[in-house]
Amino acid sequence: MQFKLNYNSSFFTPIILITPFFLWGTAMVAMKGVIHQTTPLFMAGVRIFPAGFLVLFVAIALGKSQPKTWQSWAWISLFALVDGCLFQGFIAEGLQRTTAGLGSVMIDSQPLAVAIMSRWLFKEIIGFWGWLGLTIGIIGISLIGLPDEWIINGWQGNFSSIDFNWQNLFNNGEWLMLLASLSMAVGTIMIPYVSRHVDAVIATGWHLVLGGFVLLILSFQLESEQYTNLDLSAWLSLTYATIFGSAIAYGVFFFLASKGNLTSLSALTFLTPIFALTFGNLILGETLSTLQWQGVYLTLVSIYLINQREKINEFITPKYAKFKIIVKNKITPNN
């Protein structure tokens, strides 16, 4: 008997939709749990290098064609540099200095940067709700990334007591995660250009392989004792981040995208930091300050407004037009 998954099933659909975001969020917690036993570049390379081969294996099984031109490999290489080396490298370095939950929030703020770059490069309309989301997002990220004493003293007008040490600021893990978010945003903008020359799934697999290979080379040149302190539990955590947090999460994401659920996926982006915050607290005992929690809430709201700005506008505009007609009729009634 052959079992066939009914994708339209009301039971399976919500589970499938949240799967990649659950895996990405919990993978952040898994990596944070072992970062003290290894080195950041090694962890980043181990996470994506084997995952890339798994993605390529699935792509080949699906009959996807391999890149054949130098333009294809050029775009894949550039994609690997930005979305592989820089993105994963900043994540791993940032996890040394911040919590998994806050790091995930900063990374998933990348729709803000994507919206700005799309407006500049592709002339996409951001609109009122998009600009509102960007404004709220900047406030939220500031509450997360800036030291609490800066914000409190600034709010009270005590600017003279603020110690503006920019070096310490950019050694802050949250700001490294913001750099990871910007790298991911640039990678997202690159995808349409990459897809013109090579299949998106094949490009994803190769960029993970190439990016992971470079990270491992850099690790063995710049780091030491990458794996000597790793115990069985740590290796299992890294395996989870590789197989589930990278290969399977990417696979499910592309499966959903191929089914035309892009709107649903964009609406669920905020679930990744929620899962990371929840499991970071339950498993690692991570806690946030009051200002950081406020920044988290504002950032999640901004992500939702950015991703759903067109839907919100479609919902609000007719109601606003109807409201204006009612008000106009009350002010100037028919004689």
Q: Are 137 and 303 in contact (CB under 8 A)?
A: yes
Q: What is the pLDDT of residue 107?
A: 82
To the nearest whole percent, how much of the chain has pLDDT over 90? 28
> What does each C-alpha distance from 116 to 105, 160, 179, 228 come to in angstroms?
18, 33, 15, 44
**Rounded distance between C-alpha atoms, residue 84 and residue 81, angstroms:** 6
**What does the pLDDT average to over 27-51?**
93
The pLDDT-based confidence of 269 (bands split at 50, 70, 90) is confident
pLDDT tens string 275-285? 888 888 889 88
**pLDDT the model gives residue 7:** 45
DSSP conformational letter for 172: S
pLDDT of residue 139: 85
Q: What percent of the chain has pLDDT over 70?
A: 80
Which pLDDT band, with edges at 50, 70 and 90, does 13 fall under?
A: low
CA separation for the pair 309, 130 (Å, rounded): 6
- Tokens (6 digits) for 329: 């009729």
| pLDDT tens string 151-191 | 777 676 675 665 656 555 556 777 888 888 888 888 878 87
Lowest mean pLDDT among 175-179, 257-261, 264-268: 257-261
pLDDT of residue 210: 96
